[in-house]
Amino acid sequence: MRSRAQPSFLTPASWRSCAFRHSLKSAVQSRLGSSTFTTRNHFKPQGIFSAAATGRTTRFQCCAASNGVPEPSTNQSEPPVSYDFRSFEPKWQGIWAERGDYGVPDPPELDTSKPKYYVLDMFPYPSGSGLHVGHPEGYTATDILARFKRKQGYNVMHPMGWDAFGLPAEQYALTTGTHPAITTEQNITRFREQLQALGFSYDWGREVRTTDPNYYKWTQWIFLKLWEKGLAYQDNKPVNWCPALGTVLANEEVIDGLSERGSHPVERRQMKQWVLKITEYAERLLEDLDDLDWPESVKDMQRNWIGKSVGVELSFKATNPENSEVQIDIDVYTTRPETVCGVSYVVVAPEWEDLDYLMTTTKRAEVQDYIEKARRKSDRERTGEGLAREKTGVWTGSYAKNPINGEDVQVWVGDYVLGGYGTGAVMAVPGHDARDYEFAKTFSLPIKQVIEGDVSEGAFTSEGKVMNWEGAAGIDLDGVTSSEAKERLIQHLENKQLGKLRVNYKLRDWLFSRQRYWGEPFPIVFVDGEAKAVDESELPITLPDVDSYTPSGTGESPLSVVDDWVNTVDRSTGEKAVRETNTMPQWAGSCWYYLRFIDPKNPGAPVDPELEQYWMPVDMYVGGVEHAVLHLLYSRFWHKVLYDIGVVSTKEPFQRLVNQGMILGEMEHIGFKNDSGEWVSAKFVDSVGNVHIKTGESLKAVKVIAEDLVKKGEHMALKLNQSIRVLSRAHKMSKSRGNVVNPDAVINSYGADALRCYLMFMGPLEQVKPWGTKGVQGMSRFLARAWRLVVDPLTDGLCDAVNDGEATVDQRKILHQTIKRVTADTEGLRFNTAISAMTEFVNAATKWDSRPREVLVPFISMLSAYAPHISEELWERIGEKSILAHTEWPQYKEEYDVEDNKMIVVQVNGKVRSRIEVPSSATKDDILDAAMDVKQVQKYLDGLTIRKQIYVPDKLVNLVTSK
């Protein structure tokens, strides 16, 4: 073993050289293998080396047996020198909170002459499981923007709060007996700690939660305004009733007839419900989409959900053969009146109100049994949304007369028609509608063709010419294109009073009540059975503190059994009254939270008008695409109501929307073996993954670790046999798959900054991406290199290369090229390429023997938007005294980004023969002379005469020759 005495090559001069120290670190790393240098502040020091030249003690950790210092190595690769993130990340989080770096003042302290930027994350629900690494992706993006805009001189609103009411907390209370308020508080604390550990620059002084009575007082107030405008009403509605959960579920909470939570059976039941008349705003919700900077895919989803169509309402007269004197009108709506002569049957929904009149004696039992089965299905199941399901139905025994051609057609009941949508009945044209075609084939019903086209294998739904019209309704349409026929026919039917022009919307009124305890109480009482709004002075109507959250068993809310809360007095009259015991859905509080952030402590209004006018609309709203329709549509609806009553000054709440992509679990690799234990390439395995597509033999799936694989084209293959391809897939993070990655563990191992940078570096923000821990390691190495630009890892002091000298032309050029790229990429949300630009800067600056503060300070300022903790520490160590969060974003100066040289292509007779680099000031003659001096060019000129010299400025030279 070598002596620990000072090696002869360690002279004071060489010790002070940063370049030498990098060489020394490489040498130690090369000799000791898997080693990590740390300063004396780091954990588990195992070896010690005393440097007499500096008087400092430096420690390193290693896994080698020897603690000796080897000779310097010529290996130029940098060792993975770490930085002590565990010491300074909590330190700066505490300083930010104490100083209030990210708080936004209210008037008169707020300088409203400055531009504003309101950047918002979608309201999180604080679940007991906490965050996984996919959740902070969007939060990191908004934090970078918030930090970026502050540095550009904006007042930045960047708040955080909690969508804390909802079914999960109530179900947990039922299971454990713990009050939902307690578990909600615990979950919020957990979420807040995790978010703070990531260094997000939220203004925590504006934190709100939907469960706070001071918040939901204004949710109740908004409901009263909806009531006053006639936009809230009660109605008997078919709902998704879950007996096991004891509550009504929204359609999206029911999957294949089972509750999303708990997988309990769900049935349809008629119940008196509160409903909001969102349909009154359908046209405005549709039109105003055009003015929003949202992804077109999201706007299309909302347009489809609203579902505007222009068509005709027709009335088919239905008769029960057993009582032919009674006729029932079956109103249908169609957007294709030109196909009405192709109607071969009519279908009504199981809930259709006059269905009882249409059942003949022989069909009654069968129809009633069908209705009962349909009652147990969700709307999603019935319509087959997202499913491939066979059409079901029963003939009622009755007939209806086509009002256009007078033909009698059968009347069926089918559950794919919904009673709550449109008229609850449809005219079926199987020749030209795919759904009707499938139904007709299933029940052997006639298929009539009235538009020219092939209907032998399926419905013809394209444009074509009308046929078999035969003068029906007193108009000749045979041979006319279907679009022209529709236009002419709508007007004709209206004039002849055979039909009514209708603008229809697929959008339905919003079912707004839930049979739950843990939700906002309605500000409604019933006096003698009549609903009456409470006075605003009584708000908030708070939840009673109860011992049991067990459902009533009657379909009513658990609140219905709290007698001393339910029974009250109408304060305006003194009469006895009964409270509404349903509660609002979880959507209620999340519809308007963005307004309360602006003015969270206002006791007299939901938001101050002057503050609202300054801050609204939200400039950037970031969240998952799963909220593309409902949350965003509901929020827009409430906002428009508030606009109409003068509470807000903008027609829309969210000017720009960005959907971050999902972070999947780590890539999983599956190989396949046959019964003999031999590997089978994945290209020969069926999509299910268990059968050889050539031999038909069963195969066994085997997990393969990444270390045993190699990249082969677009696929991964076994290292030992690269002809064996494996199946590589990443899956959504879930506890059941065991692929959830906890951000706490990543932060503990690599630091918050490394996690933040990796989340942004994985790929474009909107893209779905698989998690990879090695990528975090890569970001950690990048930040370690940035650290070593300023800090000497062997002394933990300022690196000798850092100085107050003037930057070189090349250094300024590299800096301003970086400023230009990072600025543009941050503005464009191209965070991954912005980080690439900064890594290139670090790679270049690492080679500089002199690193002027003039160059390092602007770089640290840019880096702070992405990696704020390490940047703050570097900012302090380099001697800056200003608050980093509020220092100006570096300005790009074009005069520093001038190329000293330019590249010229040299052609001979139009073919590229060389490229030359010449000074930017070179003249045409200089460039021509230089081109002909190149040996590679001269050999193509030997023995030839140059007939012409073509020069394209700053691009190319073409020498045209002849013999």
Is residue 738 in a domain? no
Across 705-725, average pLDDT: 92
**Range among 181-190, 348-357, 650-659, 724-733 rated most confident:** 650-659
Q: Which of 639, 658, 677 is the last residue of a domain?
A: 658
Asked whether residue 468 falls in the same domain as residue 320, the answer is yes
Please say if the pLDDT value at position 59 is more than 80: no
More confidently predicted of 851 and 734: 851
Q: Among 4-18, 262-276, 598-612, name the one with the lowest average pLDDT.
A: 4-18
Number of residues in the chain: 963
Q: How far apart are the C-alpha atoms of 164 and 675, rounded to whole Å?
A: 53
Kindly write down the DSSP assignment for every residue of 123-192, as one continuous string.
Answer: -----TT---TTTHHHHHHHHHHHHHHHHTT-EEE----B---SHHHHHHHHHH---HHHHHHHHHHHHH
What does the pLDDT read at residue 384?
66
What does the pLDDT read at residue 88?
96
More confidently predicted of 271 and 551: 271
Please say if the pLDDT value at position 69 is more than 60: no
Q: Where does the pLDDT of residue 375 fall: very low under 50, low under 70, confident under 90, or very high at 90 and above?
A: confident
Asked whether residue 890 falls in the same domain as residue 906, the answer is no
CB of 778 within 8 A of CB of 784?
Answer: no
Q: Where does the pLDDT of residue 389 fall: very low under 50, low under 70, confident under 90, or very high at 90 and above?
A: low
Across 189-199, average pLDDT: 96
Which of helix, strand or coil describes residue 772? coil
Which residues, including other chains, have CB under 8 Å from residue 842's CB and lie 6 or more apart? 782, 785, 786, 789
What does the pLDDT read at residue 252?
64
Q: How far apart are the C-alpha atoms of 336 and 95, rounded to whole Å?
A: 67
Phi, psi of 405 (to 5 degrees): -115, 0
Please say if the pLDDT value at position 860 is more than 50: yes
For the chain, what is the mean pLDDT? 88
- Cα Rg of the chain, angstroms: 36
CATH code: domain of residue 612: 3.40.50.620
Across 907-916, average pLDDT: 92
What does the pLDDT read at residue 260?
79
Asked whether residue 630 falls in the same domain as residue 648, the answer is yes
Q: Which of 586, 602, 632 is the last residue of a domain?
A: 586
Please say if the pLDDT value at position 249 is more than 90: no
Q: How far apart are the C-alpha atoms of 779 and 248, rounded to whole Å?
A: 47
Q: What is the dihedral of CA 841, 834, 821, 891, to 10 degrees?
A: -80
Asked whether residue 373 falls in the same domain as residue 351, the answer is yes
Which of helix, strand or coil describes residue 670? strand
Number of domains in the chain: 6
Please say if the pLDDT value at position 17 is more than 60: no
What does the pLDDT read at residue 553?
65
Across 725-743, average pLDDT: 86
Model pTM score: 0.82
Q: How far apart are the C-alpha atoms of 296 and 657, rounded to whole Å?
A: 10
Q: Among 548-562, 571-585, 626-640, name the one with the lowest average pLDDT.
A: 548-562
Is residue 703 in a domain? yes
Q: Which of 477, 505, 533 is the last residue of a domain?
A: 505
Residue/partner pairs of 496-500 with CB below 8 Å, 24 or more apart: 498/314, 498/403, 498/404, 498/473, 499/312, 499/313, 499/314, 499/337, 499/403, 500/312, 500/313
Q: How far apart are the C-alpha atoms of 438 and 444, rounded to whole Å?
A: 10
Is residue 262 in a domain? yes
Asked whether residue 603 falls in the same domain as residue 576, the answer is no
What does the pLDDT read at residue 11?
37
User: What letter represents residue 662's amino acid?
Assistant: M
What does the pLDDT read at residue 660?
94
- Rounded to whole angstroms, what are the CA distances from 673 to 71, 663, 687, 712, 962? 50, 30, 15, 20, 67
Is residue 51 in a domain? no
Q: How far apart are the C-alpha atoms of 819 and 888, rounded to whole Å?
A: 13
What does the pLDDT read at residue 321?
94
Is residue 245 in a domain? yes
User: What letter represents residue 20's amino acid?
Assistant: F
What does the pLDDT read at residue 688?
65
Asked whether residue 498 falls in the same domain as residue 515, the answer is no
Q: Where does the pLDDT of residue 689 fall: very low under 50, low under 70, confident under 90, or very high at 90 and above?
A: low
Asked whether residue 420 falls in the same domain as residue 559, the answer is no
Asked whether residue 274 falls in the same domain as residue 299, the answer is yes
More confidently predicted of 325 and 590: 590
| Phi/psi-derived region of residue 263, left when phi > 0, alpha when psi is between -120 and 50, beta in every other case | left
CB of 616 within 8 A of CB of 649?
Answer: yes
What does the pLDDT read at residue 172?
83
Asked whether residue 777 falls in the same domain as residue 869, the answer is yes
Closest by CA to 863, choosing from 837, 830, 900, 882, is 837
Kindly write down the DSSP assignment for every residue of 636-663, as one continuous string.
Answer: HHHHHHHHHTTS-S-S-SBSBEEEPPPE
634-645 tens-digit pLDDT: 999 999 999 999
**Token reading at 115:** 């531009």
Please say if the pLDDT value at position 387 is more than 90: no
Please say if the pLDDT value at position 12 is more than 50: no
What does the pLDDT read at residue 19?
44
Is residue 933 in a domain? yes
Please say if the pLDDT value at position 25 is more than 80: no
Q: Where does the pLDDT of residue 731 fall: very low under 50, low under 70, confident under 90, or very high at 90 and above?
A: confident
Phi, psi of 599 (to 5 degrees): -145, 65
490 sits in which H/E element: helix 482-495
CB of 164 within 8 A of CB of 126?
Answer: yes
425-456 tens-digit pLDDT: 999 999 999 999 999 999 999 999 999 999 99
Please say if the pLDDT value at position 811 is more than 70: yes
Is residue 600 in a domain? yes
Is residue 315 in a domain? yes
Asked whether residue 544 falls in the same domain as residue 600, the answer is no
Q: Domain limits at 696?
A: 668-729
What does the pLDDT read at residue 369?
96
Read off the DSSP letter of residue 336: -
More confidently predicted of 589 and 373: 589
Please say if the pLDDT value at position 902 is more than 90: no
Which residues, including other chains, have CB under 8 Å from residue 48's CB and lie 6 or more apart? 57, 59, 67
